[in-house]
Amino acid sequence: MATLELGIDEQVAAGPAGRTRRLGPLFWAAVGWTVFILAAAALASLLPLPSPTDMDMLERRAPMSLQHWLGTDGLGRDELARLIHGARISLTVGLCAPVIGVAIGGALGMLAGYFRGRFETLVVGSMDVLLAFPPLILALAVTAYLGQSLLNLTCILGVLGIPAFMRVARAATLTLSRREFVIAAQALGATHVRILLRELLPNVFLPLLAFFLLGVAVTIVVEGALSFLGLGVPPPISSWGSMIGEGRESLEIAPRLAFIPAIAMFLTVLSFNLIGDTLRALTDPRQGAL
């Protein structure tokens, strides 16, 4: 079934089993870019940047210069400032929505995988209903009714992520519950709460974290798509998606206005994918890590 476009088991280990995995320069480059863009977004208001909303009609689509490092957009706003402030929006939604997904989905999945029975059927069934909607369609429909705001957008994308996280948490819990250390804890008389929090959670945490990073990548893309269509964050605020959407209008005169945010978005999504995928490969029991 299609979850939020996350492939769960696409890779079969191609290399010889048991080979120690080195993280490699690409992984560290991805980490470096992520840290850089997160820092830039967090410190946006402290950086010596012009305001991202100040218009200068005399300097529309100005080329790159010392004053405007990346030039200005169609309304004479500083492109670099908009890019960094846009990163704030894209990353806020991109990080907060999967937090909702991982918290609710992870909890539901662990409970379903641990207690089984009716509860599991109910949870899996209701997730199937959520999965029955193509994600982008559901996101569009709900934003259309709820109205566009940063909070609404984050919540919708968060809810859309729940089934995927639920599946990962449930699958991991199912196999872990049958392991000796859980049975031993049960035999020692540990309460359900203790087993879930002290025995299972630490083991489910890493696969969930890996999936969380992949979820961030997907969410940034979906948020970008919605904003690109003009249905994401409302206009005065700009995210990368809406910047690309605006840049598209002047593709013939100043293609850079679409391509600069596009490159930033691509690098960020790629970085989260790379880090998430590496972590997943490290924690995936099917690839001989356990």
| CB closer to another protein, 207 vs 276 | 276
Alpha-carbon distance of 30 to 9, in angstroms, equals 22
Q: Which is nearer to another protein, 23 or 132 (CB)?
A: 132
CA 3 to CA 190: how far, in whole Å? 35
Q: How far is the CB of 26 from another protein (least distance, A)?
A: 9
Q: Least distance (Å) from another protein to the CB of residue 262?
A: 5
Question: For residues 90 and 177, which CB has a smaller minimum distance to another protein in the complex?
Answer: 90
CA dist 283 and 285 (Å) reads 6
Q: Would you say the C-alpha torsion 184, 186, 189, 192 has a positive or negative sign?
A: positive
Q: Which is nearer to another protein, 93 or 110 (CB)?
A: 93
Residues that bind another protein (CB under 8 A): 1-2, 5, 7, 10-12, 14-15, 125-126, 128-129, 132-138, 140-147, 217, 221, 224-225, 228-229, 231, 241, 244-245, 247-248, 251-252, 255, 258-259, 262, 265-266, 269-270, 273-274, 277
The answer to whether 161 and 100 are in contact (CB under 8 A) is yes
Spatial distance between the Cα atoms of 46 and 166, rounded to a whole number of angstroms: 39
Q: Which is nearer to another protein, 176 or 215 (CB)?
A: 215
Q: Closest approach of Cβ 217 to another protein, in Å?
A: 7
In the bound complex, what is the minimum distance in angstroms from residue 240's beta carbon to another protein? 10
Q: What are phi and psi of 215, to 5 degrees?
A: -65, -40
* Nearest by Cα to 241 from 274, 213, 269: 269
CB–CB of 109/165 below 8 Å?
yes
**Cβ 249 to another protein, closest distance in Å?**
11
